[in-house]
Amino acid sequence: MRDLTSFASMKLKAALFIFIGLFSGALVVFGSEYSAWQRALFLVMCVWAFCRVYYFAFYVIEKYVDPSFKFSGLGMAVKYLLTQKRSMSSSNDPTKSE
C-alpha cells in the first residue's frame, strides 16, 4: 500500500491542483469556442483547485508535514515547499530538530 501522506506525495498533490487551476483558468480566458456553461464549469474547477492549493499551503503542511513550522503567507509556503527535503515521517519526530 502506498503512503499517500508522505511529503513527496503531498507535493505531487499540490502540483496537480496547481496544474488543474492553471489549465482550467486558461480555458476560461482563452476558450472562446466553448459554450457559456462549459466555461462556467472551467471557472468552478479553477476556483476549486486553487482553494485546495490554499488549504494545502496552510492546513496540510502545518498539520501533517511539519507541525513546528508556522506560515505567514503563501510566499513562505512556496519557499518551504521548494527548500524542504525532509519526509513527513522525520518531521513528525519530536526528537529531531533542524
Instruction: Establish if 14 belongs to a structural domain.
Output: yes
Instruction: Establish if 21 belongs to a structural domain.
Output: yes
Instruction: Establish if 96 belongs to a structural domain.
Output: no
Instruction: Establish if 95 belongs to a structural domain.
Output: no
Amino acid at 81: L
What is the C-alpha to C-alpha distance for residues 58 and 70, in angstroms, rounded to an integer? 8
What is the C-alpha to C-alpha distance for residues 39 and 30, in angstroms, rounded to an integer? 10
Instruction: Establish if 72 belongs to a structural domain.
Output: yes
Q: What does the pLDDT read at residue 40?
A: 95
Instruction: Establish if 35 belongs to a structural domain.
Output: yes
pLDDT tens per residue, range 41-75: 999 999 999 999 888 877 877 777 777 777 777 78
Beta-carbon contacts of residue 87 (< 8 Å; ≥ 6 apart)? 6, 7, 8
Q: Where are the beta strands (DSSP E) in the chain?
A: none
Instruction: Establish if 94 belongs to a structural domain.
Output: no
Domains identified in the chain, total number: 1
Q: What percent of the chain has pLDDT over 70?
A: 81
Instruction: Establish if 27 belongs to a structural domain.
Output: yes
Nearest alpha carbon to residue 7 among 94, 93, 96, 86: 86
Supply the range of the domain harboring residue 65.
7-85
